[in-house]
Amino acid sequence: MLPIRPLPGYLVQRYHGWRATIWEDNRNWYRRLAEDGQRPRAMVIACCDSRVDVASIFGADSGELFIHRNVANLVPPYAPDGDHHGTSAAVEYAVETLRVANLIVMGHSRCGGVQGCYDMCAGHAPQLEEKTSFVGRWMDILRPAYAKVLDVPEAERVPALEKLAVLTGIDNLLSFPFVTAAVEEGRLSLHGVWNDIGEGGLESYDSTTESWNAV
């Protein structure tokens, strides 16, 4: 028998509150989504961090955003080796099946995953170096970017690495043939943004000036 228990009471109460208000007020829209399927205009690859509420930040309703979340909003390079690739599968589905027009990689401040990568690379997190560490091996994707932040003041290194996580993701997205083809055909645009949790800020990367600018 699987050790599955009933939902915590507070979640059950919140569900019933949602069902009686938001769902009830928009029941026709939800039924239409169920019957007609989803047609999101954008995919967002964001962090698992519970403080980053993508739908809320962009004021999105159900059906508007195809959201994939993982530790530190990373994208692995294209590697069709037959193993399990949750992020790669989500990207493929969004681009090839849903044919989203925009693909956004969204980083954020105070990212625990990026901090872990920084500590690991600096030799302060030996537990993440273990082969058995799923977080450590996932953060290996960002490891090459560590050297790029060593020439900035120490207090600015982790925030800089957070933004490099976004750019690393976009660079890796371009290693997927179907992503590159969609971009070249003009049916897909790539975007990189970074959210300041405490201040509610949002910065977008401008590749022409190679700078981050407030939205």
Binding annotation for Zn(2+): 47, 49, 108, 111
Contacts of 111 (CB under 8 A, 6+ apart): 47, 49, 72, 73, 158, 162, 165
Q: How far apart are CA 10 and CA 7, in angstroms?
A: 8
Q: How far apart are CA 141 and CA 77, in angstroms?
A: 8
Name the 3-class secondary structure at 104.
strand
Q: How far apart are CA 191 and CA 14, in angstroms?
A: 34
The binding site consists of 47, 49, 108, 111
Q: How far apart are CA 8 and CA 28, in angstroms?
A: 29
Backbone angles phi, psi at 38, to 5 degrees: -95, 145
